Structure 1
Amino acid sequence: MNLSASAVPRLLFRADGNAQIGLGHLMRLLALANQLQGLALGTFLVREPTAAVGQMLAANGWIVQPLPAQQSWLAEADWLAQQVLQPSDVLVLDGYYFGADYQQRLRVSGCSLVYVDDLQAWPVVADVLINHSPGVMATDYQAPTTTDFLLGPAFSLLRQPFLESAALPQWPTAIESALVCFGGADPLRLTVRIIRALQALPQLQRLGVLLGSAFGDAAALEELAATSSGVIITFHRNIEAAPLANLLREHDMAIVPASTVLIEALVLGRPSITGYYVDNQRALASYVHAHQQAFSVGNFAELNDAGLLARLHDGIAWLETTPRQPYVKQLRPDLLRAKVQQLLDRALP
């Protein structure tokens, strides 16, 4: 497939995801892409996509274009600028390898750039910058005066069922069931440790466990379920957005890292225990805890088994007694869509 064969405005989405790096960036960009569906012909650019990734994107109606494995990320940027991109394109980036030098090399093509960022770690040269993290401001960035900023939870990159079913938190009630979700890969195998800890809490009667296609420790979970006494454990594999929204509503709380799935739970108004295991999750975990939107255990990876059990116990007690504050009062996907439409219109004669 020759992506440079047409001068018609196109939406190109650049992100990666697999068992080693997780699926977070890819899932977030897919949610954004689905919000923009219908604006222009869209293609995902992915390095060596697995069969599961290709199937997921195709099922959502997107073309998948594998990228050659370049020797460096800057070499990839040069290749895209020379072989793929056109001035009429809008390229959307989501990933920690697409820093200022990468973006600047793409600019040679004349394309428009949209950058999804939650690190604020380097200068940006994008036309539009999206950061749906709470508390972030444009002054946190070094960027051209022409950059448009779409900042804060109003611009949360959520799939349609969550956009349609947003709700405010309800009054605290007893916690008797939990949904555990640590992404499609869970490279640190936190799911197994959390299930073991939850089995020791007598008030919990039912656990749901969400597993992705890249999850590598299913056998250990099956063994836990087979030896569990008094707690019903149900596994859910590779479910789509609408069933996930239903599962979040059907359980009394969610236990999730401070990533997209936490935002999905909070937008639905669901009681949540969260935390972090990589640095880019730390700020969100701290924010929602400080603003009484969710309970954070802190660093999941640094807690030993006893510490994890104690923090989960504290989190449940907090959720059962504390009125929670809303994560966002109004979502604005309409403004996000309008801003990208402006970039596409700019390329028209």
Structure 2
Amino acid sequence: MTKAPRLVVRADASPQIGLGHVVRSLALAELVGPLFAEAVLLTQAPSAAVHQLAAAAGLGVVELPAQGPQAEAAQLPAHLRPADVVVLDGYGFDEAYQVAVRATGARLVLVDDLADSPTVADLVINHGPAVRVADYRALPTTRFCLGPAFSLLRAPFRAQQRLPEAVPAIVSSVLVCFGGADPLGLTHRALGALLALPQVARVGVVIGSAFTAGTELRALAAGFAGKDVAFYHDVPAAELAALLLGYAAAVVPASTVLLETLLLGGAAITGYYADNQRPLAAYVHAHQQAFSMGNLGTLDGDALRDALLAGLQFHQTTRRQPYVERLRPEQLVDEFQRLIRGPR
């Protein structure tokens, strides 16, 4: 008897790379999961936060040994079934790894940012705003879901999509969210710079379980007695959506949280600290969808304060353009139904 199809998500998270790959691939699993009899997340060294995210999306977690992609690919038959649909989201899953997935008989979905290497995937998903099919070296049978309409966002954000709204003449409240770990200390730098701006009266700071500098942040905030600073820990999706709607602007990296902010119509001040974030930061700035400060890793002190002030002034004076008119989750569902029922 053929076993019922499973959805198998392969993604990692760590203090160094953050939770972004896991968050967006689980958002996809949340969307298409009802099509499958079972859904699991394959990952290395899952943290408590990863377990919580997987449970919220309805996935079990299978912990893989800490090893490189080549060694892991050799062990894939022990984890996969021929009827599986496998989602890969990360930067170690090269063409050889993808070939190993397909050799098990499973169908393959690649969640990709870069379009910089050959792929043998059945379906490629890339939410980049300027990406084209011609950018890929793929099989003739590969199908594509490309562009902002295929942004992989969690249900509370999809449910509250709205066009950009005008901000107050003076932006006095700002939310800061640099992910659950923030190994570069961008949260501390941004908080200090914002508190030094006279117009900013209220700041919210989102930090996760992997964040290790909470004491230092509170000490920094205590030095600005006239400011209202609130800290939010391990914020679930629905609460984060409410926070983004509750502050006049948000300081976020050019990652999933930027897309979440823009989908809610929010005013975002962004930038990049990883190569895969740079194109998105440049695009939203060029198209007046958000303000980009550029390379966040090089900004500190007066330079960061001036960049944040320029971002606030942008939002106070500019009519922002929508990042995407409408998401297309129904097409993603259709593509996964095609993978389940059709021969490769």
SS across alignment from 1:342: helix
Amino acid at match of 1:61: G
SS across alignment from 2:35: coil
Regions of 4+ moved over 2 Å: 171-174
> In the alignment, which of 114, 119, 131 is matched to residue 124 of structure 1?
119
Residue 271 of structure 2 corresponds to 275
CA distance in 1, matches of 2:228, 2:17: 31
SS across alignment from 1:64: strand
CA distance in 2, matches of 1:182, 1:111: 35
Residue 110 of structure 2 corresponds to 115
> In the alignment, which of 132, 145, 165 is matched to residue 137 of structure 1?
132
1:310 aligns with 2:306: yes
Amino acid at match of 2:301: D
Residue 223 of structure 1 corresponds to 219
Deviation at 1:8? 1.7
Residue 154 of structure 1 corresponds to 149
Q: Where does structure 1 lack aligned partners over 5 or more consecutive residues?
A: none
What is the TM-score normalised by the length of structure 2?
0.97
Deviation at 1:60? 3.0
| Counterpart mapping for 1:279-298 below 5 A | 279-298=275-294
Q: Do 1:90 and 1:113's aligned partners in 2 also have CA atoms closer than 8 Å? A: yes
Residue 326 of structure 1 corresponds to 322
Residue 46 of structure 2 corresponds to 49
Q: Do 2:127 and 2:146's aligned partners in 1 also have CA atoms closer than 8 Å? A: yes
Post-superposition Cα deviations, 1:241-269, rounded to whole Å, max 9, x if no partner, equal 11111100110001000000000000011
CA distance in 2, matches of 1:36, 1:347: 19
CA distance in 1, matches of 2:154, 2:228: 29
CA distance in 2, matches of 1:347, 1:201: 60
| Counterpart mapping for 1:21-32 below 5 A | 21-32=17-28
Post-superposition Cα deviations, 1:317-338, rounded to whole Å, max 9, x if no partner, equal 1110000000000110010011
SS across alignment from 2:34: coil
Residue 166 of structure 1 corresponds to 161
Deviation at 1:54? 1.6
What is the TM-score normalised by the length of structure 1?
0.95
Q: Do 1:175 and 1:253's aligned partners in 2 also have CA atoms closer than 8 Å? A: yes
Q: Do 1:88 and 1:347's aligned partners in 2 also have CA atoms closer than 8 Å? A: no
1:335 aligns with 2:322: no
Deviation at 1:56? 2.7
Q: Do 1:113 and 1:127's aligned partners in 2 also have CA atoms closer than 8 Å? A: yes
Alignment size in residue pairs? 342
SS across alignment from 1:66: strand
1:106 aligns with 2:93: no
SS across alignment from 1:243: helix
Residue 66 of structure 1 corresponds to 63
SS across alignment from 2:117: coil
Q: Do 2:249 and 2:268's aligned partners in 1 also have CA atoms closer than 8 Å? A: yes
1:252 aligns with 2:248: yes
Deviation at 1:61? 2.0
Residue 92 of structure 1 corresponds to 87
Q: Do 2:45 and 2:64's aligned partners in 1 also have CA atoms closer than 8 Å? A: yes
Q: Percent identity, aligned pairs only?
A: 51
CA distance in 2, matches of 1:312, 1:24: 24
Q: Do 1:172 and 1:322's aligned partners in 2 also have CA atoms closer than 8 Å? A: no
CA distance in 1, matches of 2:178, 2:3: 41
1:77 aligns with 2:73: yes
In structure 2, relative to structure 1, the CA distance for the partners of 1:100 and 1:121 (3 Å cut) is same
CA distance in 2, matches of 1:135, 1:125: 22
CA distance in 2, matches of 1:42, 1:126: 19
CA distance in 2, matches of 1:177, 1:139: 43
> In the alignment, which of 194, 197, 203 is matched to residue 198 of structure 1?
194
Amino acid at match of 1:313: L
Q: Do 1:9 and 1:347's aligned partners in 2 also have CA atoms closer than 8 Å? A: no
Deviation at 1:107? 1.7
Root mean square deviation, CA, Å: 1.5
SS across alignment from 1:36: helix
Deviation at 1:170? 1.6
Deviates more, 1:302-311 or 1:125-134: 302-311
Q: Do 2:23 and 2:53's aligned partners in 1 also have CA atoms closer than 8 Å? A: no
